[in-house]
Amino acid sequence: DAKTTQPPSMDCAEGRAANLPCNHSTISGNEYVYWYRQIHSQGPQYIIHGLKNNETNEMASLIITEDRKSSTLILPHATLRDTAVYYCIVRAMNYGGSQGNLIFGKGTKLSVKP
């Protein structure tokens, strides 16, 4: 699986957009980009995933560069409840089922401030 690089921490003002970058320069053509977050004392929460097109859902937008070597997770209007550790994960699609070991790494600790 491609390795990902994320900044260890970021701050964002409440109500502003939070843009969380992720570098995955060794990504392969069949690897997807997944984003999760973990709020303190809770289990990780799936946010969004994509292959090459930009994706949007009710939680966030995912922008993947044309060369797919990096991506940005955008929380359009961050709230205090978005304070969490955000994980960017790259995984290939396994047609036989899950590969099992989703590696979460250290992620980016996002602090949303009033």
Partner 1 sequence: DVKVTQSSRYLVKRTGEKVFLECVQDMDHENMFWYRQDPGLGLRLIYFSYDVKMKEKGDIPEGYSVSREKKERFSLILESASTNQTSMYLCASSLVSVRLATNEKLFFGSGTQLSVL
* Site residues (vs partner 1, CB under 8 A): 32, 34, 36, 41-46, 49, 51, 89, 91, 93-95, 97-106
Q: How far is the CB of 81 from partner 1 (least distance, A)?
A: 16
CB-wise, 14 or 38, nearer to partner 1? 38
The three state secondary structure string of 50-95 is: ECCCCEECCCCEEEECCCCCEEEEEECCCCHHHCEEEEEEEEECCC
**Min separation Cβ 84 and partner 1, Å:** 13
Question: How many CB atoms lie under 10 A from the CB of residue 80?
Answer: 10
Of the pair 18, 48, the CB lying nearest partner 1 is at 48
Nearer CB in complex with partner 1: 12/20: 20
Least distance to partner 1, CB of residue 13, Å:
29
| Cβ 70 vs Cβ 23: under 8 Å | yes
Q: How many CA atoms lie within 13 A of 51 on its CB side?
A: 5
